[in-house]
Amino acid sequence: MNSSCTLDSPQTKSEYLNDVISKTMAKNPNEPEFLQAVKEVLSSLEPVVLKHETEYKDLALLERVVEPERIITFRVPWIDDNGKARVNRGFRVQFNGTLGPYKGGLRFHPTVNQSIMKFLGFEQIFKNALTCLPIGGGKGGSDFDPKGKSDNEIMRFCQSFMTELQKHIGQDVDVPAGDIGVGAREIGFLFGQYRRIKNNYEAGVLTGKGLDYGGSLARKEATGYGLIYFMREMLAANGLNLSGNTVIISGSGNVAIYAAEKALSYGAKVVAMSDSNGCIYDKDGIKLDIIKELKEVKRARIKEYLNHCPNAEYKENNGEIPAVYTIKADIVLPCATQNDITLAGAKALVENGAKAVGEGANMPCTNEAIEYFLKNNVLVAPGKAANAGGVATSALEMCQNSMRYFWSFDEVDKKLDGIMTNIFAETKKAAEVYGLGNNYVAGANIAAFRKIAKAMKSQGLI
Ligand code: NDP
Ligand code: 2IT
């Protein structure tokens, strides 16, 4: 989706905060997604910054938080199946390594650019802090489009991408994983090339690996399951639950599929899922096995669901509001991409009686959409808290790799549940301490920022 960032001047009560936001906007004028993320996080920190204004200013703390430690961009040449030479651009943003090795996914999608990489890397710092595991924030990827490519083309691209990336990563340096367009197939090719170049079996250099060579059980499921564990906690804290409620989910990729699976196990009814072309609506409840076969095995379009369930409906996207958000539901789980829910989408969802939104994707709601939800008493589970289960389980994969051992599915899943439950508790506590009620968006930002700020202060001016 295109960015929807209003680039107006910030209006917090902290002069320092306003100044940092203004300077960040001036310094990065062509990075709307990055500025959107910065404005969302920094403006919600107002009560914390007001309390510590002089200290943070003296340490240039906020100026450092918004400036990546390092950005690497590189050329990725590869040969397609017709023998034609192609070139893409690769990125790795090593944003903040205060809490541990840089950690974050790789996105392969034609829309990838520096603004998107920086917004994702920036969000990752806070998300990773919330997990309470020792991981810093980073992100990477390429404007390569995996759609319609053969396995051999994917392999050649991944090998070329890793030939450069390997210079900058390592199990104690920077540990990439998957994101949009990067799943187990791509991680396998990337890992193979890393191992070949380094002549070293460094299992913890990538996460999301296959189960037969160092991957963690439950990593594939972790982001989606974790989202639902977070939703369970948030709904319970507000006298609601998943059981018997209808759910719509945008996307039908890794996060969407396993969010649907766990929501179903709690007795919710998933009535719609989507891809970038449109959505399917099955009023009897989506048959997830069909979605898995279409998306995980055949890499097909979601429209083909109708070949298996002719009573379902297909709605093509047209206009500002993606079709999936025009369907009535109690719970909305955006699990596709950024800025999927604009103000118009938020209005349609509120009109249709939505009670809660859980961000499985990174920044799926525009800042205006979030404001509108909160004003209309719709609970919002912010992405950097609610989708942290993926990276948390990646950190558990690193832990198992270091031990040269593995845990059972149930052991990993129980740890994941504990981590998500704790993230919600910390988010709720921070919102309460700062008198923000059930604004978990601000709560998550504050809980994460306090942790990072304390550690950055301890490590000196670097
Ligand atoms: P996948 O590539 O597995 O799936 C992405 C899904 O989103 C596809 O169904 C895709 O449809 C759909 N989509 C719709 N519009 C767009 C668009 N404009 N750009 C890209 N995708 C679009 O990715 P994931 O499920 O891994 O990631 C989904 C979201 O969750 C992303 O925001 C990601 O950053 C976030 N996330 C992922 C984590 C993980 O562990 N994988 C962890 C935390 C967050 P189509 O096939 O038509 O492109
Ligand atoms: O956005 C994310 O948190 C991810 N794509 C997962 C990152 C990871 O390192 O597992």
**pLDDT of 40-74, one tens digit each?**
999 999 999 999 999 999 999 999 999 999 999 99
Q: Which ligand is nearest to the CA of 124?
A: 2
Q: How many CA atoms lie within 13 A of 445 on its CB side?
A: 22
169 — pLDDT class (breaks 50, 70, 90): very high
Ligand 1 centroid to residue 296 C-alpha, Å: 13
**Which residue has its alpha carbon closest to ligand 2 atom 4?**
105
Mean pLDDT of 178-199: 98
- Of all residues in the chain, the percent with pLDDT exceeding 70 is 98
The H-or-E segment that residue 177 falls in is strand 174-177
Q: Which residue has the higher pLDDT, 145 or 8?
A: 145
Ligand 1, atom 35, residue with closest C-alpha = 361
List C-alpha distances in Å: 174 to 97, 136, 395, 398: 9, 9, 12, 12
Residue 112 has pLDDT above 50, yes or no: yes
pLDDT digits (tens, 9 = 90+) for 383-394: 999 999 999 999
Q: Which residues pair with 136 in a beta bridge?
A: 102
Phi, psi of 122 (to 5 degrees): -65, -50
Res 4: pLDDT: 44
pLDDT of residue 2: 45
Phi/psi for 308 (5° steps) reads -100, -30
Which pLDDT score, from 0 to 100, does residue 141 have?
99
Mean pLDDT (whole number) for 353-367: 98
Q: Is 104 in the pocket of ligand 2 (CB under 6 A)?
A: yes
Q: What is the pTM of this model?
A: 0.98
DSSP reduced 3-state for 420 = helix
Query: Hey, which residues are catalytic here?
Result: 139
Which ligand is nearest to the Cα of residue 208, counting in written order? 2
Answer yes or no: is the C-beta of 206 below 6 A from any ligand 1 atom.
no
- pLDDT value of residue 8: 58
Q: Which atom of ligand 2 is nearest to the CA of 391?
A: 10
Q: Is 223 in the pocket of ligand 1 (CB under 6 A)?
A: yes
Alpha carbon nearest to ligand 1 atom 27, residue? 180
Which of 394, 399, 412, 416, when mutated, tests ligand 2's pocket best, judged by the most ligand atoms within 8 Å of its CB? 394
pLDDT confidence of residue 11: 86
Region 284-301 average pLDDT: 97
Mutate to test the pocket of ligand 1, among 180, 303, 316, 365 (most ligand atoms within 8 A of CB): 180
Distances (CA, A) of 112 to 139, 201, 253, 457, 462: 11, 30, 18, 33, 29
Tell me, in angstroms, the distance from the centre of ligand 1 to residue 138's CA. 18
State the Cα–Cα distance between residues 362 and 340, nearest whole angstrom: 10
Candidate from 1-10, 260-269, 297-306 with smallest mean pLDDT: 1-10
Residue 5 has a pLDDT of: 44
403-416: pLDDT as tens digits: 999 999 999 999 99
Non-local CB neighbours of 260 within 8 Å, separated by 6+ positions? 224, 247, 249, 270, 273, 286, 288, 291
pLDDT greater than 60 at residue 269: yes
Q: How far is the CA of 138 from the centre of ligand 2 (A)?
A: 9
Going from the Cα of 23 to the center of ligand 1, the distance in angstroms, rounded, reads 31
CB 330 within 8 A of CB 291: no
* Number of Cα atoms under 13 Å in the Cβ half of residue 418: 9
131's tokens:
């997990």
**Ligand 1 atom having least distance to the Cα of 277:** 47
180 CA from centroid of ligand 1 (Å):
4
Half-sphere exposure for 59 (CA within 13 Å, toward CB): 20
pLDDT of 7 above 50 = no
pLDDT of 23 higher than 50: yes
Q: Is the CB of 362 under 6 A from ligand 2?
A: yes
| Atom of ligand 2 lying closest to residue 107 CA | 5
Cα–Cα–Cα angle for 222, 223, 224, rounded to 5 degrees: 95
Tell me the pLDDT band of 3, cut-offs 50, 70 and 90: very low
What average pLDDT does this structure show over 271-288?
98
Predicted pLDDT of residue 428: 98
SS3 309: coil
Cα end-to-end distance, the chain, whole Å: 35
Q: Is the CB of 254 under 6 A from ligand 1?
A: yes
* pLDDT number for residue 10: 63
Res 295 pLDDT > 50: yes
- Ligand 2 contacts CB of residue 207 (under 6 A): yes
pLDDT of residue 399: 98
Q: Are 217 and 408 in contact (CB under 8 A)?
A: yes
Residue 1 has pLDDT above 70, yes or no: no
Give the integer Cα–Cα distance in Å for 396 and 217: 10
Phi, psi dihedrals of residue 454, rounded to the nearest 5°: -65, -45
334 CA → ligand 1 middle, Å: 10
391 touches ligand 2 (CB under 6 Å): yes
**Measured in angstroms, how far is the CA atom of residue 391 from the centroid of ligand 2?**
5
The pLDDT score that the predictor gives to residue 241 is 97
CB-CB contact of 389 with 227 (8 Å): yes
Give residue-wise pLDDT tens across range 86-108: 999 999 999 999 999 999 999 99
pLDDT confidence of residue 333: 99
